[in-house]
Amino acid sequence: MPIDIKEQTVSITGEDSVSFLGDLNWTTEAVINILKNSVEHTQAGGTIAISFSENPLFTEIMIKDNGKGIAKEEIPYIFKRFYKGKGAGEGSSGIGLSMAHSIITKQNGDIDVQSEIHKGTQFRIRFYKQIVNRG
């Protein structure tokens, strides 16, 4: 269900100068898959916040919602292919988060999740910068 139909509020914060080296199309696909998950599991009128920043070691994208959250016992499995959580929609294939994880890790990145039932979920994506050895 689209964000506008659910009347969810989306905020995006970050500096225009933030960048990373990676595949724009695949990275967009990964972020969209995570956002779809947030939209699906956040109630009507809920909020989704996207922020991005960088430092000398990595570029970070955070996607945080105030949705229903993910049970602790499910968190280890959410990036597994075809895994569908208890609250998955009937149209869910169970590959969105798995695909996002694969895209991110193949680009020298990682993704983790923190979640609390009835409080929301936060996905943190980090793309690590190549360290050039000048020794």
Enumerate domains of the chain plus CATH numbers.
9-128 (3.30.565.10)
Are residues 13 and 62 in contact, defined by beta-carbon separation less than 8 angstroms?
Answer: no
Read off the tokens for 13.
């914060």
What pTM was computed for the model?
0.87
Q: For residue 109, give Cα distances in angstroms to 27, 42, 132.
A: 11, 26, 17
pLDDT tens digit at each of 135 positions of the chain: 566 778 899 999 999 999 998 999 999 999 999 999 999 889 999 999 999 999 999 999 999 999 999 999 998 888 888 766 666 666 666 678 999 999 999 999 999 999 999 999 999 999 999 765 555
Return the biggest CA–CA distance within the chain.
56
Q: For residue 57, give Cα distances in angstroms to 14, 49, 109, 112, 134.
A: 17, 23, 11, 17, 16
